[in-house]
Amino acid sequence: MLRVTLEIVPFGIESVKRTIGTLEISNVGGNHKVGSYSVTATDRDGGKHFAQIERYRRGRGGWNLVKKALQIIKFE
């Protein structure tokens, strides 16, 4: 699973940082070349958003997978 955490760090002061969201991408199938993923984004108020990524070429890398997840998930 990949997890991306979105934090606010007011004025760069780490001791007062707070998490305002997370993005989790879980492998749910495929083979060594192509994967399928379940995506969950959670807002700071606990709201959840879901998406699926099918037939993703694993060789494109993790950051590209995160980009794809952000493009397809429905934030409202």
pLDDT, one tens digit per residue, over 8-57 is 999 999 999 999 999 999 999 999 999 999 999 999 998 999 999 999 99
Which residue ranges make up each domain of the chain?
2-72
How many CB atoms lie under 10 A from the CB of residue 54?
11
Structure token digits, residue 64: 């590209």
pLDDT level of residue 66 (50, 70, 90 thresholds)? very high
Return left, alpha or beta for 20; rule: phi > 0 is left, psi -120 to 50 is alpha, else beta: alpha
pTM given for the model: 0.90
Q: Which positions ≥6 away from 5 have C-beta within 8 Å? A: 19, 21, 22
Residue with tokens 């997890």: 3
Indicate the SS3 state at residue 60: helix
What integer pLDDT is reported at residue 74 of this predicted model? 87
What integer pLDDT is reported at residue 75 of this predicted model? 80
